[in-house]
Amino acid sequence: IEDDVMFATNVNITDGFHGFTHIKEPYKYQELFRIQPITIGRGCWIGQNVVICPGVTIGTMTIVGANSVVTKSLPDRCIAVGSPARVVKVWDDRKEQWIPAENEV
């Protein structure tokens, strides 16, 4: 987690998942099968109830909206929302404002 990151309440950051391959053994005792680091860039704002999954990088100055589930990496200076999170706006340096992401036009 880089500098100046802001978190709302109830954010879940997890770097691993449990397997469930032994049906007679409780889930909590089963081995972790995927452990991957997470990077949250400088100046990000992570909204309430966000879940950040293993292996994700969230770019610098990115905003993740409330109740989003981040399953894939997000670029610098974007706004992402939803489950799974998708980029809906990007920062345009030339216009100095947020503009709709290409997939949102």
Within 10 angstroms of residue 50's Cβ, the number of other Cβ atoms is 24
Residue among 44, 62, 50 nearest 4 (CA) = 44
Alpha-carbon distance 27 to 47, whole Å? 29
Which of 6, 12, 17, 18 is catalytic? The answer is 18
For 69, the enclosing helix (H) or strand (E) is strand 69-70
- Does the annotation mark 18 as catalytic? yes
Per the listing, tokens 């954010």 go with: 11
Contact predicate 70/57, CB 8 Å: no
Q: Which residues are catalytic?
A: 18
